Structure 1
Amino acid sequence: MQLIAYILIYPFLWLISILPFRLLYFVSDIAYVFVYKIFGYRKKTVIPNLKLVFPEKSEKEILELASLFYHHLCDMILESIKSLTISEKELKKRFVATNIDLINNLGVKNKSIIIMCAHYGSWEWIFIIQKSIKHKGYAIYKRLTNKYFDKLVKRIRAKYNTYLITNKQAITTLTESKKKGELTLNGFISDQSPKAHKAYYWNEFMGIKVPMHTGAEILAKKLDMAVVFFRVKRKKRGYYELTFETITENPKDYENYEITDIFFKKVEEQILEAPQYYLWTHKRWKHRNKVPPEFQ
């Protein structure tokens, strides 16, 4: 069944991917009507999330913000599909890193890097930076259920020397890379919720106490990697600007979970600046009523 689904769906995705951007965003506008207005995809998660995080906003303001978010969500979905066929030249024009030298300078210091980022703005096109750096790229991801689409996503990333590995593969893969003397750039999307009973650490995110992923910080300390935050801004439709911010070159100098706290503060700054670009469809605050006594 997985192969049949792939055979049926892939040609449709490919045809969308070859559309010029003007038509691509026309399709996105149509998708918005169906996703938000007709089917209400995850509205029962998005609206409560927005009300929880922004209790001071009126009902009208919440709905306006939700509408802006769904427009952006549809754009991101179509942009992800565009990754199938977009040229390197076009990608470099649309996803610009303002200070790539920060990464290369860490390479000169023989430092591998953990990039901590959030589900904010756009993260799908970041792999283009591999064309401007010497580090070998790894991205931590959750394997897709359909193995054929999983291979497709890996193949797209591999075109730009970025390799997808799962959480379970991360420690082994990156430890081996360190033993070989390889410089690696390792992307972690660290803002979503771990399972409450498996969380080592809880703290406030947007004013609400929740469990936090700490794997990126733990791995950085274990392998002595620099930690860098990936801040992205949407300049206009289809154009993004990426800026790197060093959190630390020496993670072992920090107390446990201090790096994680710094990361979440930076994510909050982005959200407060332009909340419509955060991924509100995830149940990020679902465990807020399960705070263990030691973290209350």
Structure 2
Amino acid sequence: MVELWNMISSTSTAIKSLVITWNLLLFIAKGLSFVLFVILRYGLRYRYRMIITNLTRAFPGRSTLEYQELLNGYYRHISDLCVEPFLFFCASDAHREQLARFTNLGLLSTLHQAHRPVVLLASHYGNWEYLAKLPQLTDYPVYTAYSPIKNHWLNRLLIYLRSRLGMSLIPKQNFYRQALMVLRDPHNLPLLLLIADQRPGPGSTKHHLPFLHQDTAVQIGAERMAMLSNATVLSIEARQTDRFQYQFTFRLLSEQAAKTVPLAITRQYYQALERVITHAPVFWLWSHNRWKGMAAEPA
């Protein structure tokens, strides 16, 4: 692991030592994104049926032209999404600040001073990888889940990239138990970051809410952990302000989760996410089979 980290650090230093301006990096990123767009949209037609099916079910009654505009916009977004980690990794602290801006960090400071553990609910909207910057911006130790992959070298690389700014990673296989221990630890005051809009796993208890004009199975593990630890629950909303750049805003869902009724937090989260998606649809993860098993599937 040490050798890998040294290799990556040396590579990063070598890149930064070259006379590569930020504008040149942006130019390279835009070029790579365009190539990816052509490949994904016209070459591979990456998950075309899945994307168009999800869009037509989520936004019924739109014209063929509107669906094609959404489809093309989504392919542009996922092409950018593939190159944005490259920008984020190579960026200086000042340029990283441009890529990911957080508007109301004072809310985290207030909660930390009040000694409140926090469960932060994010989503597959915008670029969630930019949230790796959070540990540099708050006094909270920040924890999140990760899914190990089979390729040992690539797994170590991804762990390094996601933790290099201070994020603590909990393996997904034992996540619920370990995360709950972290939240309940009286000597710790954590912020637990969760991507909460995923489809429930096989064998899990199914709870359903209306979301984007569809009956939607939802995970309630985040809400359950927050209630058991009486944490404060926040959501975080992303808005693209320029190409490759996002502004993040925290929203209070529950100050003391133990005092809320079941499903109230999850319902608030999905209602807020639906408003964000409806305002600017192309930035959500439409190529994911979010409603698997809920209706007839695309061929």
TM range (shorter): 0.7 to 0.9
Conservation of the 8 A alpha-carbon contact between 1:196 and 1:287: no
What amino acid sits opposite 1:226 in the alignment? T
1:136-169 Cα shifts (integer Å, max 9, x gaps): 0111232233232222122123221102213323
TM-score (norm 2): 0.87
Q: What are the within-5 Å matches in structure 2 for residues 36-47 of structure 1?
A: 36-47=41-52
Aligned counterpart, 2:59: 54
Conservation of the 8 A alpha-carbon contact between 2:211 and 2:274: yes
Partners of 2:287 and 2:45 in 1: how far apart? 11
- In structure 2, the CA distance between the partners of 1:153 and 1:86, relative to structure 1 (3 Å rule), is farther
What are structure 2's unaligned runs of at least 5 residues?
A: 1-6
1:93 partnered with 2:98 = yes
Partners of 2:182 and 2:67 in 1: how far apart? 48
Query: How many residue pairs are counted as aligned between the two chains?
Result: 277
Shift of 1:80: 2.0
What amino acid sits opposite 1:129 in the alignment? L
Partners of 1:178 and 1:91 in 2: how far apart? 33
Shift of 1:177: 5.8
Q: What's the % identity of the aligned pairs?
A: 24
Partners of 2:151 and 2:51 in 1: how far apart? 26
Alignment partner of 1:278 out of 266, 281, 284: 284
Conservation of the 8 A alpha-carbon contact between 1:199 and 1:211: no
Q: What are the within-5 Å matches in structure 2 for residues 65-80 of structure 1?
A: 65-80=70-85
Alignment partner of 1:112 out of 105, 110, 117: 117
Q: What are the within-5 Å matches in structure 2 for residues 11-30 of structure 1?
A: 20-30=25-35
Aligned counterpart, 1:226: 232
Aligned counterpart, 1:244: 250
What are structure 1's unaligned runs of at least 5 residues?
A: 1-6, 291-296
Alignment partner of 2:194 out of 167, 188, 195: 188
Shift of 1:196: 5.9
Shift of 1:270: 0.7
Shift of 1:174: 4.3
Shift of 1:185: 1.2
Segment drifting more, 129-138 vs 229-238: 129-138
SS of equivalent residue, structure 1 residue 84: helix
TM-score (norm 1): 0.87
Shift of 1:113: 0.8
